[in-house]
Amino acid sequence: MNANQRKKYISNSQESVRMFKSDFFEALSKVHYTVPIIIFMPVIVYMIIQGIQQGLCTWQYPVTIISGLIVWTIVEYVLHRYIFHYQFPGKIGARLHFVIHGVHHDYPCDRRRLVMPPSLSIPLALMFFFLFRNLLPAKYLDIIFAKFLTGYLIYDIGHYAMHHLNFKSGLFKKIKQHHMLHHYQNPNRGYGVSSPLWDKILQSD
């Protein structure tokens, strides 16, 4: 049995394990699931209003909306697979991996660590905004970025729901089952959280 096949520690407790000696950093690592909505929903609304004022053609709205959502699914998959699950070398690397994502796999029901803390989500959002601003024509930027953030909220709030709600049937049940397989059977498969799209395409489901 190799290292990837060995069972790892998984707690079913909904309480938060302490990660940092510093109370300040400990507080930054925890967040209520409504916080991303409070922070990013006004930004989404503002950017949609700005986007409408760009005077896009009717057919361009669905194209930009779908584009923003698809770009999010790609970013979500890449971050989860290649950043969150990257095994940094050495003891310091192991500690870094635990802080970034390992804690979630050890304590998947921790209510305070199921959505991204603002200390990480806000810098990432700003980074992607400036990246998009340099890559996209100005008239498409607002709508695409608004839908990119919408995809992020679906991911973050959906992730919380997958760990704490019991879906009886339908699409959400299938998505939850996909994510639970990632947690409880093989953490090296099923990297898509809000959608299994790229797992299917890249055969990592």
pLDDT at residue number 8? 62
**What is the C-alpha separation between 151 and 60, in angstroms, rounded?**
19
Sign of CA dihedral 20, 24, 29, 31: positive
Q: For residues 133 and 141, is the Cβ–Cβ distance under 8 A?
A: yes
- Res 2: pLDDT: 38
Phi-psi region of 86 (alpha: psi -120 to 50; beta: other; left: phi over 0): beta
Q: Given this model, what pLDDT does residue 106 score? A: 86
CB 88 within 8 A of CB 97: yes
Quick one: pLDDT at residue 29? 85
Sign, Cα dihedral of 93, 35, 11, 189: negative
Q: Quick one: which H or E segment has residue 179? A: helix 170-184
Going residue by residue through the chain, which has 205 residues, state the pLDDT in tens, using 9 for 90 and above.
Answer: 334 444 566 777 677 778 888 888 888 888 999 999 999 999 999 999 999 999 888 888 999 999 999 999 999 999 999 999 988 888 888 888 888 888 888 888 888 888 999 999 999 999 999 999 999 999 999 999 999 999 999 999 999 999 988 888 788 899 999 999 999 888 889 999 998 999 999 988 7
Residues 26 and 114: their CA atoms lie apart, in Å, by 15
What integer pLDDT is reported at residue 56 of this predicted model?
Answer: 86
Q: What is the dihedral of CA 174, 177, 182, 183, to 10 degrees?
A: 150
Q: At what angle do helices 60-78 and 138-164 cross, to 10 degrees?
A: 50
Instruction: Tell me the whole-structure pTM to 2 decimals.
Output: 0.89
